[in-house]
Amino acid sequence: MSSELRLRVSEAADLTPAVRRFVLRDPDGGALPAYEPGAHVVVTVPAGHKRGYSLVEPGGARPREYVVCVRRDDAGRGGSASMHRDVTMGTELVVSAPANGFPLEPSPRYLFIAGGIGITPIRAMVRRLRAGGRTGVRLLYLTRSAAETPFLNEFGGPEDTVHHSDGHGPLDLWPHLAVPDDDVRVYCCGPAPLMRAVRTLTAHWRASRIHMEEFTAAGTGMSLPFTAVWAPDGRRVPVPAHLSLLAALRRAGVRVDSSCEAGVCGTCRLTVLDGEVDHRDAVSTEKERLGSMVACVSRAGSPEIVVGPYENEEPV
Protein backbone atom coordinates (compact mmCIF):
# COMPACT_ATOMS: atom_id res chain seq x y z
CA MET A 1 0.00 0.00 0.00
CA SER A 2 1.51 3.35 -0.98
CA SER A 3 1.91 6.01 1.70
CA GLU A 4 -0.03 9.23 1.61
CA LEU A 5 1.43 12.71 1.65
CA ARG A 6 -0.16 16.03 2.46
CA LEU A 7 1.11 18.50 -0.13
CA ARG A 8 0.45 22.16 -0.74
CA VAL A 9 -0.37 23.65 -4.14
CA SER A 10 2.33 26.24 -4.84
CA GLU A 11 1.33 27.11 -8.40
CA ALA A 12 -1.92 26.75 -10.35
CA ALA A 13 -2.09 28.15 -13.85
CA ASP A 14 -3.94 27.43 -17.08
CA LEU A 15 -1.91 25.98 -19.95
CA THR A 16 -4.95 25.98 -22.28
CA PRO A 17 -8.61 26.92 -21.71
CA ALA A 18 -9.27 23.40 -20.36
CA VAL A 19 -5.92 22.25 -18.95
CA ARG A 20 -4.54 23.57 -15.68
CA ARG A 21 -1.07 22.86 -14.31
CA PHE A 22 -0.66 22.32 -10.56
CA VAL A 23 2.63 22.25 -8.69
CA LEU A 24 2.53 20.32 -5.40
CA ARG A 25 5.20 20.75 -2.71
CA ASP A 26 5.85 19.64 0.82
CA PRO A 27 4.58 22.48 3.08
CA ASP A 28 7.91 22.35 4.97
CA GLY A 29 9.97 22.41 1.80
CA GLY A 30 11.25 18.84 2.13
CA ALA A 31 12.18 16.49 -0.69
CA LEU A 32 9.45 14.17 -1.95
CA PRO A 33 9.52 10.41 -2.65
CA ALA A 34 11.44 9.51 -5.81
CA TYR A 35 9.81 8.72 -9.13
CA GLU A 36 10.74 7.98 -12.72
CA PRO A 37 9.06 9.04 -15.99
CA GLY A 38 5.68 7.39 -16.50
CA ALA A 39 4.77 7.58 -12.80
CA HIS A 40 1.47 8.92 -11.52
CA VAL A 41 0.11 10.03 -8.18
CA VAL A 42 -3.40 9.59 -6.83
CA VAL A 43 -4.86 12.88 -5.61
CA THR A 44 -7.87 13.06 -3.30
CA VAL A 45 -9.62 16.07 -4.81
CA PRO A 46 -11.56 18.50 -2.56
CA ALA A 47 -14.88 16.94 -3.61
CA GLY A 48 -13.61 13.63 -2.20
CA HIS A 49 -12.90 11.62 -5.36
CA LYS A 50 -9.53 9.97 -5.91
CA ARG A 51 -7.99 10.64 -9.29
CA GLY A 52 -4.75 9.46 -10.85
CA TYR A 53 -2.60 12.08 -12.60
CA SER A 54 0.63 11.47 -14.46
CA LEU A 55 3.66 13.43 -13.33
CA VAL A 56 4.76 15.64 -16.20
CA GLU A 57 8.34 16.29 -15.13
CA PRO A 58 11.09 13.65 -15.51
CA GLY A 59 11.49 13.14 -11.74
CA GLY A 60 14.51 11.58 -10.09
CA ALA A 61 15.80 10.64 -6.65
CA ARG A 62 14.72 13.60 -4.50
CA PRO A 63 12.20 15.75 -6.35
CA ARG A 64 11.18 19.02 -4.72
CA GLU A 65 7.77 19.03 -6.36
CA TYR A 66 5.19 16.98 -8.21
CA VAL A 67 3.64 18.64 -11.26
CA VAL A 68 0.34 17.41 -12.68
CA CYS A 69 -1.89 18.75 -15.45
CA VAL A 70 -5.63 18.30 -15.22
CA ARG A 71 -7.99 18.62 -18.15
CA ARG A 72 -11.43 19.77 -17.04
CA ASP A 73 -14.04 17.25 -18.16
CA ASP A 74 -17.48 18.74 -17.63
CA ALA A 75 -19.08 15.44 -18.67
CA GLY A 76 -16.97 13.48 -16.19
CA ARG A 77 -17.75 12.33 -12.67
CA GLY A 78 -16.57 15.50 -10.95
CA GLY A 79 -12.91 14.89 -10.13
CA SER A 80 -11.39 17.23 -12.71
CA ALA A 81 -14.12 19.82 -12.16
CA SER A 82 -13.30 19.88 -8.45
CA MET A 83 -9.58 20.32 -9.19
CA HIS A 84 -10.37 23.31 -11.42
CA ARG A 85 -13.05 24.81 -9.19
CA ASP A 86 -11.82 24.11 -5.68
CA VAL A 87 -8.01 24.08 -5.84
CA THR A 88 -5.99 27.28 -5.74
CA MET A 89 -2.54 28.26 -4.55
CA GLY A 90 -2.20 27.22 -0.93
CA THR A 91 -4.75 24.39 -1.06
CA GLU A 92 -3.52 21.29 0.74
CA LEU A 93 -4.24 17.95 -0.89
CA VAL A 94 -3.75 14.33 0.12
CA VAL A 95 -1.55 12.75 -2.52
CA SER A 96 -0.25 9.19 -2.77
CA ALA A 97 3.42 8.45 -3.20
CA PRO A 98 4.16 7.95 -6.91
CA ALA A 99 3.51 4.58 -8.55
CA ASN A 100 4.56 3.62 -12.03
CA GLY A 101 2.49 1.34 -14.27
CA PHE A 102 4.01 2.79 -17.45
CA PRO A 103 7.77 2.63 -16.94
CA LEU A 104 10.29 3.81 -19.49
CA GLU A 105 12.29 0.79 -20.61
CA PRO A 106 15.74 1.03 -22.23
CA SER A 107 15.75 1.00 -26.02
CA PRO A 108 18.00 2.18 -28.88
CA ARG A 109 15.17 4.33 -30.24
CA TYR A 110 11.64 5.39 -29.33
CA LEU A 111 8.40 6.44 -30.96
CA PHE A 112 6.05 8.29 -28.61
CA ILE A 113 2.42 8.82 -29.59
CA ALA A 114 0.45 11.23 -27.41
CA GLY A 115 -3.19 12.22 -27.86
CA GLY A 116 -4.37 15.36 -26.04
CA ILE A 117 -3.77 15.25 -22.30
CA GLY A 118 -2.00 11.91 -22.91
CA ILE A 119 1.07 14.08 -23.41
CA THR A 120 1.59 14.23 -19.63
CA PRO A 121 3.53 10.97 -18.99
CA ILE A 122 5.09 11.15 -22.43
CA ARG A 123 6.47 14.65 -21.84
CA ALA A 124 8.29 13.32 -18.76
CA MET A 125 9.81 10.49 -20.82
CA VAL A 126 10.80 12.66 -23.78
CA ARG A 127 12.38 15.29 -21.54
CA ARG A 128 14.34 12.65 -19.63
CA LEU A 129 15.64 11.02 -22.81
CA ARG A 130 16.48 14.27 -24.57
CA ALA A 131 18.14 15.85 -21.54
CA GLY A 132 21.53 14.57 -22.69
CA GLY A 133 21.01 15.65 -26.30
CA ARG A 134 20.01 12.17 -27.36
CA THR A 135 18.38 11.56 -30.78
CA GLY A 136 16.15 8.72 -31.92
CA VAL A 137 13.33 9.98 -29.70
CA ARG A 138 10.44 10.67 -32.07
CA LEU A 139 7.15 12.18 -30.94
CA LEU A 140 3.75 12.24 -32.62
CA TYR A 141 1.55 14.65 -30.65
CA LEU A 142 -2.07 14.72 -31.76
CA THR A 143 -4.51 17.38 -30.60
CA ARG A 144 -7.57 19.16 -31.88
CA SER A 145 -6.10 22.64 -32.32
CA ALA A 146 -3.06 24.71 -31.39
CA ALA A 147 -5.08 26.48 -28.70
CA GLU A 148 -5.84 23.13 -27.05
CA THR A 149 -2.24 21.87 -27.05
CA PRO A 150 -0.40 21.97 -23.70
CA PHE A 151 3.38 22.43 -24.01
CA LEU A 152 3.05 23.25 -27.70
CA ASN A 153 6.16 25.43 -27.78
CA GLU A 154 8.33 22.58 -26.45
CA PHE A 155 7.77 20.25 -29.36
CA GLY A 156 8.97 21.90 -32.53
CA GLY A 157 12.16 19.89 -33.04
CA PRO A 158 13.15 17.80 -36.05
CA GLU A 159 11.89 14.58 -34.45
CA ASP A 160 8.51 16.06 -33.46
CA THR A 161 5.25 15.95 -35.39
CA VAL A 162 2.49 18.03 -33.82
CA HIS A 163 -0.75 17.42 -35.66
CA HIS A 164 -4.03 19.29 -35.14
CA SER A 165 -7.09 17.44 -36.41
CA ASP A 166 -9.19 20.62 -36.85
CA GLY A 167 -8.98 21.45 -40.52
CA HIS A 168 -6.64 18.55 -41.27
CA GLY A 169 -8.48 15.42 -40.13
CA PRO A 170 -6.75 12.66 -38.18
CA LEU A 171 -3.09 11.88 -38.76
CA ASP A 172 -2.45 8.69 -40.72
CA LEU A 173 -0.39 6.62 -38.26
CA TRP A 174 0.26 3.73 -40.64
CA PRO A 175 3.38 5.21 -42.27
CA HIS A 176 4.91 5.44 -38.79
CA LEU A 177 4.01 1.90 -37.74
CA ALA A 178 3.95 -0.17 -40.93
CA VAL A 179 7.48 -1.54 -40.50
CA PRO A 180 8.06 -3.24 -37.12
CA ASP A 181 11.44 -2.55 -35.62
CA ASP A 182 12.84 -4.38 -32.58
CA ASP A 183 15.13 -1.41 -31.94
CA VAL A 184 12.14 0.86 -31.33
CA ARG A 185 9.80 0.98 -28.37
CA VAL A 186 6.40 2.55 -29.03
CA TYR A 187 4.77 4.37 -26.11
CA CYS A 188 1.19 5.57 -26.52
CA CYS A 189 -1.08 7.52 -24.20
CA GLY A 190 -4.31 9.18 -25.19
CA PRO A 191 -8.03 8.71 -25.67
CA ALA A 192 -9.54 5.27 -26.29
CA PRO A 193 -9.91 5.58 -30.08
CA LEU A 194 -6.22 6.46 -30.44
CA MET A 195 -5.20 3.58 -28.18
CA ARG A 196 -7.35 1.17 -30.19
CA ALA A 197 -5.87 2.43 -33.45
CA VAL A 198 -2.31 2.02 -32.23
CA ARG A 199 -3.06 -1.47 -30.92
CA THR A 200 -4.49 -2.47 -34.28
CA LEU A 201 -1.68 -0.89 -36.30
CA THR A 202 1.02 -2.55 -34.17
CA ALA A 203 -0.54 -6.04 -34.11
CA HIS A 204 2.39 -7.26 -36.23
CA TRP A 205 5.01 -5.80 -33.85
CA ARG A 206 6.63 -7.78 -31.05
CA ALA A 207 4.27 -7.23 -28.11
CA SER A 208 7.14 -6.30 -25.79
CA ARG A 209 7.90 -3.23 -27.92
CA ILE A 210 4.43 -1.69 -27.45
CA HIS A 211 3.60 0.20 -24.25
CA MET A 212 0.18 1.67 -23.61
CA GLU A 213 -0.91 3.85 -20.73
CA GLU A 214 -4.16 2.36 -19.50
CA PHE A 215 -5.41 4.46 -16.65
CA THR A 216 -9.11 4.19 -17.11
CA ALA A 217 -11.75 1.76 -18.17
CA ALA A 218 -12.44 3.98 -21.15
CA GLY A 219 -8.81 3.78 -22.15
CA THR A 220 -8.53 0.01 -22.27
CA GLY A 221 -8.67 -2.20 -25.28
CA MET A 222 -11.39 -4.50 -26.46
CA SER A 223 -13.65 -5.91 -23.75
CA LEU A 224 -15.30 -9.31 -23.92
CA PRO A 225 -18.17 -10.62 -21.80
CA PHE A 226 -17.43 -13.13 -19.06
CA THR A 227 -19.01 -14.67 -15.99
CA ALA A 228 -17.93 -13.85 -12.46
CA VAL A 229 -18.67 -16.30 -9.68
CA TRP A 230 -18.96 -14.61 -6.31
CA ALA A 231 -17.19 -17.13 -4.07
CA PRO A 232 -18.96 -16.44 -0.72
CA ASP A 233 -22.32 -17.67 -2.03
CA GLY A 234 -21.61 -19.12 -5.49
CA ARG A 235 -23.70 -16.44 -7.22
CA ARG A 236 -23.04 -16.37 -10.97
CA VAL A 237 -22.86 -12.83 -12.36
CA PRO A 238 -22.74 -12.19 -16.11
CA VAL A 239 -20.41 -9.29 -16.97
CA PRO A 240 -21.30 -7.94 -20.43
CA ALA A 241 -18.66 -6.21 -22.55
CA HIS A 242 -19.98 -2.73 -21.79
CA LEU A 243 -20.03 -3.14 -17.99
CA SER A 244 -17.16 -3.30 -15.52
CA LEU A 245 -16.91 -6.20 -13.10
CA LEU A 246 -17.56 -3.67 -10.34
CA ALA A 247 -20.79 -2.48 -11.94
CA ALA A 248 -21.98 -6.00 -12.72
CA LEU A 249 -21.38 -7.21 -9.16
CA ARG A 250 -23.24 -4.23 -7.75
CA ARG A 251 -26.18 -4.82 -10.06
CA ALA A 252 -26.26 -8.37 -8.73
CA GLY A 253 -26.43 -7.05 -5.17
CA VAL A 254 -22.80 -7.62 -4.18
CA ARG A 255 -21.33 -4.78 -2.17
CA VAL A 256 -17.86 -3.73 -3.31
CA ASP A 257 -16.26 -0.48 -2.10
CA SER A 258 -14.72 1.85 -4.68
CA SER A 259 -13.28 5.32 -4.98
CA CYS A 260 -11.51 6.35 -8.19
CA GLU A 261 -13.24 3.82 -10.47
CA ALA A 262 -10.32 4.34 -12.80
CA GLY A 263 -7.85 1.67 -11.70
CA VAL A 264 -5.55 3.92 -9.71
CA CYS A 265 -6.47 3.61 -6.01
CA GLY A 266 -6.97 -0.11 -5.31
CA THR A 267 -10.11 0.34 -3.18
CA CYS A 268 -12.15 -2.13 -5.25
CA ARG A 269 -9.56 -4.94 -5.10
CA LEU A 270 -10.98 -8.48 -4.99
CA THR A 271 -9.33 -11.82 -4.30
CA VAL A 272 -9.16 -14.07 -7.37
CA LEU A 273 -9.66 -17.74 -6.51
CA ASP A 274 -9.80 -19.17 -10.01
CA GLY A 275 -9.57 -17.99 -13.61
CA GLU A 276 -7.35 -15.68 -15.63
CA VAL A 277 -7.20 -11.91 -15.17
CA ASP A 278 -6.68 -9.21 -17.80
CA HIS A 279 -5.12 -6.59 -15.50
CA ARG A 280 -5.85 -3.06 -16.70
CA ASP A 281 -5.09 -1.01 -13.64
CA ALA A 282 -2.15 1.19 -12.75
CA VAL A 283 -2.01 0.42 -9.04
CA SER A 284 -1.29 -3.29 -8.50
CA THR A 285 2.15 -4.63 -7.69
CA GLU A 286 3.37 -7.80 -9.41
CA LYS A 287 2.66 -9.69 -6.20
CA GLU A 288 -0.88 -8.34 -5.95
CA ARG A 289 -1.54 -9.33 -9.54
CA LEU A 290 -0.90 -12.97 -8.68
CA GLY A 291 -3.99 -13.34 -6.50
CA SER A 292 -6.21 -10.31 -6.89
CA MET A 293 -7.68 -7.82 -9.33
CA VAL A 294 -9.27 -4.39 -9.23
CA ALA A 295 -12.89 -4.68 -10.25
CA CYS A 296 -13.42 -1.22 -11.72
CA VAL A 297 -11.18 -1.67 -14.79
CA SER A 298 -9.69 -5.17 -14.92
CA ARG A 299 -11.52 -8.00 -16.60
CA ALA A 300 -11.39 -11.76 -16.81
CA GLY A 301 -8.97 -13.22 -19.31
CA SER A 302 -10.97 -16.46 -19.29
CA PRO A 303 -14.69 -17.11 -19.79
CA GLU A 304 -15.22 -17.46 -16.06
CA ILE A 305 -13.51 -16.10 -12.99
CA VAL A 306 -14.09 -16.78 -9.29
CA VAL A 307 -13.68 -13.76 -7.01
CA GLY A 308 -14.31 -12.84 -3.39
CA PRO A 309 -13.61 -10.09 -0.85
CA TYR A 310 -9.99 -9.02 -0.68
CA GLU A 311 -8.06 -9.64 2.46
CA ASN A 312 -4.65 -8.04 2.61
CA GLU A 313 -2.27 -10.76 3.74
CA GLU A 314 0.72 -8.45 4.15
CA PRO A 315 2.12 -8.58 7.71
CA VAL A 316 1.33 -5.41 9.63
Interacting residue ranges for ligand FES, rule: CB under 6 A:
258-261, 263-268, 281, 283, 294, 296
For residue 163, the SS3 value is strand
**Residue 278: CB minimum distance to ligand FES, A:** 15
Interstrand relation of 40-44 and 19-25 (parallel, antiparallel or unpaired): unpaired
Residues whose CB is less than 8 angstroms from the CB of residue 162 and which lie 6 or more positions away in sequence, other chains included? 141, 143, 149, 152, 155, 156
Eight-state DSSP code of residue 153: G
Quickly count: other Cβ atoms within 10 Å of residue 221's Cβ: 14
Nearer to ligand FES, 215 or 226 (CB): 215
For the bound state, the minimum distance from the C-beta of residue 23 to ligand FES, rounded and expressed in Å, comes to 25
278 vs 280: CA distance, rounded Å: 6
Enter the DSSP assignment of 195: H
CB of 50 to ligand FES, least distance (A): 6
**6: enclosing H helix or E strand:** strand 4-14
Q: Which of 121/150 has CB closer to ligand FES?
A: 121
Closest contact distance (angstroms) between CB of 68 and ligand FES is 17
Residue 10 or 259 having the CB closest to ligand FES: 259
Which lies closer to ligand FES via its Cβ, residue 87 or residue 270?
270
Compute CA distances 177 → 81, 160, 172, 210, whole Å: 36, 15, 10, 11
Chain CA centroid to CA 13, Å: 22
Nearer to ligand FES, 149 or 267 (CB): 267
Least CB distance to ligand FES at residue 268 (A): 3
Identify whether the C-beta of residue 67 lies closer than 8 Å to the C-beta of residue 90: no
Nearer to ligand FES, 57 or 261 (CB): 261
- For residue 237, the minimal CB distance to ligand FES (Å) is 17
For residue 248, give the nearest of 215, 264, 270, 276 by alpha carbon: 270
